Each structure stands twice: as structure tokens, then as C-alpha cells.
Amino acid sequence: MAHVVVIGAGLGGLPAAYELRHLLPKSDTVTLISNEPNFTFIPGLIQIALDLKPIDHVQLDLVPLARRHGLNLILGAVTALDPDRRQVTVKDQTLDYDYVLIATGASLAFDLIPGLGPHGGYTQSVCTPSHALAARQAWLKFLEQPSGPLVVGAAPGAGCFGPAYEFVLMAEHELRKRGLRDQVEIVYITAEPYVGHLGVSGVKNAREYTADLMEQRGVRVIDNAVIQTVTPDAVLLADGQSIPFGYSMILPAFRGVEFIRQVPGLADEKGFIPILPTQRHPEFPHIYTVGVSIKLAQPDVTPVPIGMPKSGQMTEAMATAAAHNIAVDLGAIKAPQIIPTLDALCFAEFGDTGIAYIAAPVIPDPVTGKRRSSYAMRGPWIVWAKAAFEEYFMIKMRQGVGMPWFEKLGLRTLFGLRLLKSVPPSDPSKLAST
């Protein structure tokens, strides 16, 4: 009887646990460890922060989900991982495992910039449920009497820019609806080399569509920006500019979570975990990793360092592959190992319109420097599509479904995305580190 432990119950962890439960025999145990009592659909937190929907619309209680779908749930933070003994420690209990799948996401490096963040700083965040709720309270207070500019952005080293674009343009839309737009200057500050980069260069129409929308909405853009410090009422840049604000939401850089950084040889200097294409660690064969936790190098040399985005859809594909490959390793299924293609789709909602960014795959071919396909599309239908996908994903999580065949087929038919591919055992080079 095998024991597989999944650390993290977010967009990667919960689908991975469901996939494992479907693939492994009932005699095997799948343990899900979460430091939060709820599953949260993280992309929905921007609407929470802007008071467009209640928090329970994007959350599910993990206790009944685990009971209903045969998962052994442990609520608590992991404090230690021992790859040699194959043990993981949660609070005062230590668990032995046959395989562990790490899907923790990342910790938020607010401390890299003095004054950044909601904990002892002066800016808001939409990275966690508690941050989104705090951002909402500050937003409602700001709406009562706008006291200065709205400043939104992403710090150097950030790798996830979509939420910043969504926040600034959805906030602008809300200010217009409330008749407050003329009272508020809006500034977007980013480490990106140009507006619409989003950590992925060369996406057809992305720069033009995004810049055009920012100009139409009257949003001032400062790119290639290095945020040096934040005071109670201004963002100070390395070039000497001081950008005043009455409300500010700035995304931080990410790093690996603490217990990962404490394990010798597990991760790089920032705490991100190297993986083989199968999602397995190159040195610890019983450790798999998915999502924001993985090491994924930014192929572009940019004036200001930025990270590589790891979208929710990419994370879900990684989780499916990792669960499948663990089941193959355990002999539960007889099939070739599979790897995620890293094809990426991002639906960005901007109030009454939106832009879909597609990069297939997100990392271009190292020889040609090209992708199979990359482009952006815009229109009001993006808003409807994102809302529909959120509802669909929440239904999946309630019903205990990972990534069904019709989801893969739909993404391939509509957007040309091929999320997973098999690797024949006769081609071991395909399983080597990239």
C-alpha cells in the first residue's frame, strides 16, 4: 500500500490529489496537506479586492471535499521535509511517504522593498485571500473620498503580471461607473520592458492591444521601473521619480516557501525547485513539483530582471502530468510517462472588455527562438469566457475532477493548445532536464 503526499491545496495541489485518487487503487493513501482550510480560485481574488463579488464565491471548504473524495486531509503548515528518509513534518506529526508532490505556490518577497506590502507596508496585494479582503477594505475607503492617484504595478523580479493589468483596468472601469474617474489619476508601474510583455516576449498583438487599451483608458505607464522604496503616500523609483498615491496595489517578487529553502540540494538560491520535464526532481526521484514552486528560467534578458509566468492553466497541466507519472512509477497504471507542453493561455478581464494571451509553448524553441503559436485576442467575450471558466473550475473542484478529456479537447480545438504529450520509454533523452 503506497502513500502519496500532496503539499498544497491550490490550483495545482487539489487537482493533483484528485487525479491521484482516480489513478491509484483504493488501498493506497493520498494525503493532502494545506495550511489553509479552503481551496481558493486565486484568479478570482481581483474581483474580491474590488468588491465585485463575495469571497465565498471563489472558495470551497476542504474538509467536506476531502471526505467526499477519499483524501486524507491534514490542515497545517509543513515545517520540514526529509528527502532521504522520505518524511514530511506538519506541526507535531511526521509522515512517511512513498512519493511527495509539492504544489505550495511561492512565498511573497515583500521584504525586498522597504514599505512594500500589507504587512507593515503601505501597498495592497491580491495574492492571498486575506490580502484581497484587506485590499477590499482599503478600496472601499478610497472610494468614499479619493485622496490621491491610484498606483498599480509589479516589482522587479515579479513573474506574474496579469493580475496587475486586471486590477488597474478593472479599477479604472469601476471608477468610471461610479462617476469618480475624473478625480483619480492612474499610474501603472512595472518592471516589464514594455507594456503588454507579461513576462513573455514576442506574443503577436500583445504589446499593441495592451498599450492601446491603457492609452484609451488614460492610464500612465512607467515601464522598466525599479521600485526602490514605498512611503505612506508615494512609490519611489531608482531613477529618482516619486509617484504619489492614495491607493496602491503592487505585486511582489516570488521566492520558494521556507521549508523548501531549508532542504539542502532541493532548490536554487531563491527556493525554486528544478525539475525534469516529467515534473520529477533530478536528484530526488520521489519528489515531484508543479506550479509556481518550480524553477522556470526567464529566457529573455531584460533591463530590469523579471520572472517567468506560470499560469493556472499551465499549473493544472503540470499537476495532471505529475499525478499520472507517479501512478506509472507505482505500477498503478501501465502507460508511457507524460509531460506538460507548457502551452499557456491567460484570460485577462478589464471591466467591459478583455485580452486573451496565448503562448504555445511559453518558452520558445532554444534553437529557432520561435513558438509553435503565439498571439493575443481582445473583445468583450473574454470577460464572459473567464467567468464561465471560473464557474466550470469550481464545479470540477466540488465534484473531485482533475483535468477531463473534454477540457483538453476544448482548449486544443478553440485555441490550438496541446497541454500534454506522451514520452515513449525508448526515448530517454526526452525525460532529461531541459
Which positions are catalytic?
160, 346
Return d(Cα 88, Cα 36) in angstroms, integer.
17
Q: Any residues with CB less than 8 A from the CB of 248 and at least 6 apart, and which? A: 122, 123, 124, 150, 151, 152, 230, 235
The answer to whether the CB of 139 falls within 8 A of the CB of 50 is yes
Q: Any residues with CB less than 8 A from the CB of 323 and at least 6 apart, and which? A: 16, 17, 19, 20, 23, 101, 402
The answer to whether the CB of 23 falls within 8 A of the CB of 332 is yes
- Residue 199 Rama label (left phi>0; alpha psi -120 to 50; beta): left
